[in-house]
Structure 1
Amino acid sequence: MGELPEATPNRAYVAEVHHHNLLASAIGDQKLAGESIIHNYGKSFNGFVAQLLPDEAEKLLEQKSVVSVFPNTRRKLHTTRSWNFLRMPLTPKRRSKTQTDIVVGIWVDSPSFNDKGFGPPPRSWKGKCVTGANFTGCNNKVIGAKYFNIDDEALPEESPSPADENGHGTHTASTAAGMPVRGASMYGIGRGTARGGVPSARIAMYKVCWSVGCSDMNILAAFDEAIADGVDVISVSIGGPTVEFFSDPIAIGAFHAMKRGILTSCSAGNTGPYPMTIENVAPWIMTVAASSIDRQFTTKVSLGNGEAAPGLSVNTFSPKKKMYPLINGVLAAKGSGADAMIASFCDYETLSKKKVKGKIVYCLEGMSAQDYTIKRLGGVGIIVALAEKTDVSSTTIIPGTFVEANTVGKSIDLYINSTKNAQAVIHKTTSSKIAAPFVASFSSRGPQRISRNLLKPDLAAPGLNILAAYSKLATLTGVPEDTRHSIFNIMSGTSMACPHASGAAAFVKSFHPDWSPAAIKSALMTTATPMKIMDMFGELGSGSGQINPARAVDPGLVYDIKMNDYIAFLCKQGFDKTKIALLIGNKGFNCSNIRSPPGDDGINYPSMNVQLMTANSNISAVFHRTVKNVALGTSTYNARVTSPKGFSVEVIPSSLKFNKLYQEQKFKVVVKGPPMPDETLILSGFLEWNDSKHSVKTPILVSKPLSEFD
């Protein structure tokens, strides 16, 4: 997955011939090589997909001109008011002429993609609009559409087309750059103005996911096309198991995008609150965690004894009666004894249809789709008791809500078991204000496994209960038995957070079109809002904090990283020099000619993180950093450090003076301390550079070895 051959009129063809010859030399058969190749990447980087036996893959990897060989795997999607909460007004001061030429790449008929007032696509745009089933073409808002189904992965019921059949792409695209739509709601819930961060931006969509998942070969093909098409920001709400960078298609694609000045924003994953679950960790990627906004969707249950039971869900149904019979899984069981206890989880085969029909059923949290089960058995509602506290309001296919098992759940179960005529009614969802922001419980946490001294995620953005555009080709829940369709839906996930950060990046880039991807990421990180830590691993899931796009336009200082800095980082990390040479297209490259970057992490990153070698190691780390002045006029920045007991932080020098725009100054941060207490896994603090106009914040984290988080 290295750089393409030198630019020629038939560059793609030259790459294709090279791929064929390379494979033929590895497997020893010209004809078989031609039959084995499935797809060639030759627009933005050099690579191909082929059907190979394990021994053939090994032989290919032994070739000196091969960066990496890895099996095609399937990755998954990381599945209104949010921009107001980020203090981005509906009509902020914008460089609209510049923003009109931003491309951040659906159900194109959504009002969120109305192209009224847009002129033709920018001259720099080289992409195409591919039509297909349920997709008749683009407009001047959605200027590009392509789909990738290289290995014929789409099922018969899935039409090969750019059309969004599950709603995910429509939701994320409209979050990043959708047009303002007043009065938007999901069946009246969450009513307000739905809009993207940069409504004046153009959108190009690249469909890589089908019902079986999102394959590596499709993801790489989309990167290859998007870079060549001329996009400005790439938003990827997809992830999978963390692997080393040269075997990670998103890391590879994002690297080639970075080389061409394109920022790639990626979701962090949805396997929190557990540690070591973070995904998309390459330093040239902007890794986005999910945070909350100040709105929560609540669904109240009224019990027959007059008590009210609060819960979380998105319930679009209004009750038709004042009360319905209420039963729990044990009482609705087919059998008795042990069978009845198993039935408390409401698995389909354990419940009696006769006992469930016409009733609301109280269930303990199980592994199956319990609302689907109760619907099939004729139930009219469901209350699910969750073992752990949640902050997600999930949409149910029948009237339903989710309650805390140890508090509200116990009260409901006690009421059911203390009367012969238990009754309840589940009300339609309403919204309420909550304290925010905080990291969503599902958002993946660090520490990461690949580059242990690199803090990921980088920052957080709203990803909890987000209202945005949706595809009419999909039901609200995606379940075929669900008959509800809506042009807006409420969804949660780092998938929803990622396009918020992508839109914010496009917003910053519109003011600073000459800034590098690293400078834009730095601006968003150093101006972010620190968040309330809600759990023991929250500090490993929040990065620099929640984005503040308006402040990021004028950050004062940025930590810039150029391609050569990333190369030096890869050398220091021990990556093979020959593979690095292929990656950057420099045959004469040698790591020995690169000066090893100073400091414990070896990269000019806008955060500072050290992972101790052993649990009882003394805290000792040195970080070398360079900041660039991006504000007009002279200024003097003074260092301010916030750190807990347990380690000391010294900044040398503690004052930086800038006399002109783009002037750079170096400093180092020395962190010291005794071994961390046995019960402590993380110590954190902040370095702030302040000139009375700008506050440039950088998190400093010290954590114990990965083994301590198992």
Structure 2
Amino acid sequence: MINRKLIGARYFYESYKIYRNKTMSYNSARDYDGHGTHTLSTAAGNFVSGVSVFGNGNGTASGASPNARVVSYKALWEDFGYDADILAAFEAAIADGVDVLSVSLGGLEPKEYWKNTISIGSFHAFLNGLVVVSSAGNDGPTPYSLTSTEPWVITVGASTTDREFTNSVTLGGNTTLQGLSISMFGLSSHELYPLINASDAKADNALSELAYLCANRSIDPKKIRGKILVCFQGTDDQTWVEQTEAVGVISLVTIPDTHFFPATLMLPVSNLNCTDSNYLLNYINQTKSPMATISKGETKLGIKSAPRMAAFSSRGPNPIEPRILKPDITAPGVNIIAANTEKVSILGSTNKNRNTPFKMISGTSMACPHVAGLVVLLKALHPDWSSAAIKSAIMTTATPLDNSGRPILENYSQEETTPFSYGAGHIQPNLAADPGLVYDLMTNDYLNFLCAHGYNSSTIGSLYRGFYVCPKHFNLANFNYPSITIIKLDLWHSINVTRTLTNVGSPSTYNVHIKVPHGVIVSVEPRILMFQQKGDKKDFRVTLSLKPQINNKANYFFGSLVWTDGKHNVRSPIIVKNPHQ
């Protein structure tokens, strides 16, 4: 149904139909999965009261830009999508005259720009004035794992919010472990129930590795009657347990830094982190009659040390062009509540009670539309800003600190994270609306970037419809990006980096402050920039050199450069590769 909010819906499946040799049973733009509905409503959903998932997170919700109108372009079908269909969706969006594209999809592995459909489609979009926002990917915390590497795209990582969905598992002996759950069911706090490990409940002739995950038909229902079943988290749907006489389920993870989600079953259930999972296993193994009880899920607000980086969020360095920092930014992407298609119930259960109008999902796909919605707001406030200016405003006003004023941490290890996880930092929408200064880029700047990346007129032609002759000399270090990444710095030579700032605010004088990366000497000239009017441009030069002795064994050193006039703080990350590693 098309209305004043959803003003268009298109679908593209010709390549899928040819290569899969099948006709879709639902040839329409309708969302039968829920991913598109969730991301679209996160970007631009209207204000809705009484939003919750099984009573959790109850309140009024909206998308990042609730007054925006939206168009959906469906190019993925069932479990797959083809390049031609995806590119057709990009071209249709360009022809339709949309302003912002929220692209929560990615390839299986990074590809060179001229071979990457999303790179080609997004570059065409950029050339036509669209801003493209893309998810970083969900293959973290492995380095070099992100697939959205284009400098003309805003690449978004995923981080937590200050809201958690928790419950407790209380053991015999009164030890309490905190888990994650959105189940509306809980056991009595005055009674303990027997615990049974999945391996002890294995059905006859079932594979041990399936029983370990509590896969359907791998567990003997008689063995779990009246007990709490202890499973290990996997990809298997454990909703079958609801049809048994088990009183509850506890899911475990035993690999550190593994992301886990709030449990969702129609019975008492809890998902435990690695530390508490190991504690519970030791308790079961060392106790003659292990007992426990499980509380129902509850919503906790005001969590400190937030945001934290999601373990699944794909990481840099940039695998295609390591001289460009990626991701660019991070935004909320963990346990995000947004609209659900209702064509598919949560966890795929046939239980109709699980079909809800709202759903909780985690992923960089969820972080991406937060930024896309912010871009819409910035375009409305500043219709004369280029896509690069908008990206700069978002990046230079982002923060690398959490709500305690400390550096952003990894979600589970609690270790301090780096720009390879969060880019310039976590978005701060109100500050992005008034950044003071921006690093701007035009079409020729991106074409020169491709030249410096090693492309010639032929390869550039895969992305650019015109003919472009590369300049004889262009140093990629001088590409006017809002971050500075140096991968080749030796002891005997310094490197000069030039940047240009454009004033988008009132006349003002800015001073520079430098947080120097370890083992590096950094100087900036000039150290004061005076802007007389809006639109003024000023150049500055950053000179980097190595200290004579570096004892740090880190692969990279991190710092920052901030231009401030007392009101605005225009911050750029500085990343320098350790030449001794």
TM (norm. structure 2) is: 0.89
Task: State the secondary structure of the residue aligned to 2:423.
Answer: coil
Equivalenced residues, count: 562
Cα distance in 2 for partners of 1:620, 1:468 equals 50
CA displacement at 1:350 relative to structure 2: 5.2
Q: Identity over the aligned pairs, expressed in percent?
A: 38
**Counterpart selection for 1:253 from 99, 111, 121:** 121
Letter in 1 for 2:571: K
For the pair 1:287 / 2:155, whether they are aligned, the reply is yes
Question: Which residue of structure 1 aligns with residue 509 of structure 2?
Answer: 636
For the pair 1:189 / 2:189, whether they are aligned, the reply is no
Task: State the secondary structure of the residue aligned to 2:40.
Answer: helix
Contact 1:688 1:698 in 2 (8 A): yes
Contact 1:371 1:400 in 2 (8 A): no
Question: Which residue of structure 1 aligns with residue 419 of structure 2?
Answer: 539
Question: Which residue of structure 2 aligns with residue 46 of structure 1?
Answer: none
Question: Which residue of structure 1 aligns with residue 473 of structure 2?
Answer: 596
Contact 2:441 2:480 in 1 (8 A): yes
Q: Residues 477, 373 of structure 1: CA spacing in aligned structure 2 closer, same or farther, 3 A cutoff?
A: closer
Instruction: State the Cα deviation string for residues 87-146 of structure 1 (Å, max 9, x = none).
Output: xxxxxxxxxxxxxxxxxxxxxxxxxxxxxxxxxxxxxxxxxxxxxxxxxx2001110101
For the pair 1:500 / 2:370, whether they are aligned, the reply is yes
Question: Which residue of structure 1 aligns with residue 94 of structure 2?
Answer: 227
**Counterpart selection for 1:516 from 362, 386, 396:** 386
Cα distance in 2 for partners of 1:606, 1:231 equals 25
Contact 2:517 2:574 in 1 (8 A): no
For the pair 1:267 / 2:267, whether they are aligned, the reply is no
Task: State the secondary structure of the residue aligned to 1:330.
Answer: helix
Q: Residues 482, 267 of structure 1: CA spacing in aligned structure 2 closer, same or farther, 3 A cutoff?
A: farther
CA displacement at 1:405 relative to structure 2: 3.8
CA displacement at 1:703 relative to structure 2: 2.8
* 1:89-238 matched pairs, under 5 angstroms: 137-150=1-14, 151-152=16-17, 158-238=25-105
Cα distance in 1 for partners of 2:454, 2:158 equals 32
Contact 2:114 2:460 in 1 (8 A): no
For the pair 1:396 / 2:264, whether they are aligned, the reply is yes
CA displacement at 1:457 relative to structure 2: 0.3
Task: State the secondary structure of the residue aligned to 1:586.
Answer: coil
Letter in 2 for 1:597: F
Question: Which residue of structure 1 aligns with residue 526 of structure 2?
Answer: 653
Task: State the secondary structure of the residue aligned to 2:553.
Answer: coil
Contact 2:146 2:315 in 1 (8 A): yes
Cα distance in 2 for partners of 1:617, 1:440 equals 36
Task: State the secondary structure of the residue aligned to 1:584.
Answer: coil
Question: Which residue of structure 2 aligns with residue 575 of structure 1?
Answer: 455
Contact 1:558 1:628 in 2 (8 A): yes
Q: Residues 636, 465 of structure 1: CA spacing in aligned structure 2 closer, same or farther, 3 A cutoff?
A: same
Q: Residues 619, 217 of structure 1: CA spacing in aligned structure 2 closer, same or farther, 3 A cutoff?
A: farther
Q: Residues 430, 158 of structure 1: CA spacing in aligned structure 2 closer, same or farther, 3 A cutoff?
A: farther
Question: Which residue of structure 2 aligns with residue 447 of structure 1?
Answer: 317
Cα distance in 2 for partners of 1:327, 1:581 equals 62
Contact 1:397 1:482 in 2 (8 A): no
Question: Which residue of structure 1 aligns with residue 404 of structure 2?
Answer: none
**Counterpart selection for 2:433 from 547, 553, 567:** 553
Contact 2:187 2:294 in 1 (8 A): yes
Contact 1:381 1:426 in 2 (8 A): no
TM (norm. structure 1) is: 0.74
Contact 1:319 1:428 in 2 (8 A): no
Letter in 1 for 2:198: G
* 1:368-379 matched pairs, under 5 angstroms: 368-369=235-236, 371-372=238-239, 374-375=241-242, 379=246
Q: Residues 254, 202 of structure 1: CA spacing in aligned structure 2 closer, same or farther, 3 A cutoff?
A: same
CA displacement at 1:293 relative to structure 2: 1.2
For the pair 1:351 / 2:219, whether they are aligned, the reply is yes
**Counterpart selection for 1:420 from 289, 301, 324:** 289
For the pair 1:303 / 2:171, whether they are aligned, the reply is yes
Question: Which residue of structure 2 aligns with residue 608 of structure 1?
Answer: 484
Letter in 2 for 1:307: T
Contact 2:165 2:262 in 1 (8 A): no
Letter in 2 for 1:686: S
CA displacement at 1:671 relative to structure 2: 1.6
Contact 2:166 2:262 in 1 (8 A): no
CA displacement at 1:539 relative to structure 2: 3.0
Contact 1:180 1:196 in 2 (8 A): yes
Instruction: State the Cα deviation string for residues 212-258 of structure 1 (Å, max 9, x = none).
Output: 22322221111010000000000000012110001111111110111
Question: Which residue of structure 1 aligns with residue 466 of structure 2?
Answer: 586
Cα distance in 2 for partners of 1:154, 1:146 equals 21
Cα distance in 2 for partners of 1:156, 1:431 equals 46
CA displacement at 1:469 relative to structure 2: 1.3
Cα distance in 1 for partners of 2:232, 2:42 equals 34
Cα distance in 2 for partners of 1:421, 1:578 equals 69
Task: State the secondary structure of the residue aligned to 1:174.
Answer: helix
**Counterpart selection for 2:564 from 676, 681, 690:** 690
Task: State the secondary structure of the residue aligned to 2:449.
Answer: helix
Cα distance in 2 for partners of 1:374, 1:601 equals 57
CA displacement at 1:345 relative to structure 2: 4.7
Question: Which residue of structure 2 aligns with residue 562 of structure 1?
Answer: 442
Q: Residues 406, 549 of structure 1: CA spacing in aligned structure 2 closer, same or farther, 3 A cutoff?
A: closer
Task: State the secondary structure of the residue aligned to 2:85.
Answer: helix
Cα distance in 2 for partners of 1:379, 1:214 equals 40
CA displacement at 1:282 relative to structure 2: 0.6
RMSD: 2.8
Question: Which residue of structure 2 aligns with residue 438 of structure 1?
Answer: 308
Instruction: State the Cα deviation string for residues 502-559 of structure 1 (Å, max 9, x = none).
Output: 0111111101111111110000000111131334654311101111111111111110
CA displacement at 1:313 relative to structure 2: 3.1
Task: State the secondary structure of the residue aligned to 1:172.
Answer: helix
Task: State the secondary structure of the residue aligned to 1:498.
Answer: helix
Question: Which residue of structure 2 aligns with residue 24 of structure 1?
Answer: none
Q: Which runs of 5+ in 2 are unaligned?
A: 402-407
Question: Which residue of structure 1 aligns with residue 112 of structure 2?
Answer: 244
Cα distance in 2 for partners of 1:382, 1:413 equals 17
For the pair 1:362 / 2:242, whether they are aligned, the reply is no
Contact 1:164 1:170 in 2 (8 A): yes
Task: State the secondary structure of the residue aligned to 2:309.
Answer: coil
CA displacement at 1:580 relative to structure 2: 2.2
Cα distance in 2 for partners of 1:372, 1:143 equals 37
Instruction: State the Cα deviation string for residues 533-588 of structure 1 (Å, max 9, x = none).
Output: 3346543111011111111111111101100000111111111213324643334x
Letter in 2 for 1:624: T
CA displacement at 1:203 relative to structure 2: 0.6
Contact 1:238 1:266 in 2 (8 A): yes
Q: Residues 506, 413 of structure 1: CA spacing in aligned structure 2 closer, same or farther, 3 A cutoff?
A: same
For the pair 1:475 / 2:352, whether they are aligned, the reply is no
Question: Which residue of structure 1 aligns with residue 332 of structure 2?
Answer: 462
Contact 1:313 1:394 in 2 (8 A): yes
Instruction: State the Cα deviation string for residues 398-444 of structure 1 (Å, max 9, x = none).
Output: 54222134345424651575233734334234334322122212111
